Homo-oligomer: A and B are copies of this chain.
């Protein structure tokens, strides 16, 4: 049995989805764990994670459109607005998606489906540096 943790950063260019599947697959490989679970965690409250359709970028664009319609920037009822009109929607978008994704590991790889990619969702409009932690626990 073994437990391995590793962190990496993603430099975002503002709002949008950034794929991190390869980084996670590589960390699981370096952990040496063959059977177990990988936890991917984003250490921020205005960015989040989601496992999403990885084939057609229009699916990610429609997710963005949906979130923008559901939680419009600068909504009149926000009271938390000191950090700009896109700050409070970022926290809400984060709460509606995920802070961690957890994936069983089998034969040394996260067992993602064929169309599943792991994405960091940047919810702020401006570029940010986002820190992602991965823990892998299981049998070598």
A106 and B91: CB pair below 8 A?
no
Tell me how many chains of this kind the complex includes: 3
Total chain A interface residues with beta-carbon distance under 8 A: 65
Instruction: Scan residues 10-69 of chain A and give those whose CB is less than 8 A from a CB of chain B.
Output: 33, 35-37, 39, 41, 43-46, 50-54, 56, 58-59, 61-63, 65-66, 69
Instruction: Scan residues 99-140 of chain A and give those whose CB is less than 8 A from a CB of chain B.
Output: 99-106, 111-113, 115-116, 131, 133-135, 137-139
Q: List the B side residues contacting A35 at CB < 8 Å.
A: 3-5, 135
B80 and A61: CB pair below 8 A?
yes
Q: List the B side residues contacting A104 at CB < 8 Å.
A: 5, 39, 41, 133-135
Among B96, B98, B111, point to the contact of A43 (Cβ < 8 A): B111
- Contacts A35-B5, A133-B104 known; A62 to B44 CB distance under 8 Å? no
B101 and A99: CB pair below 8 A?
yes
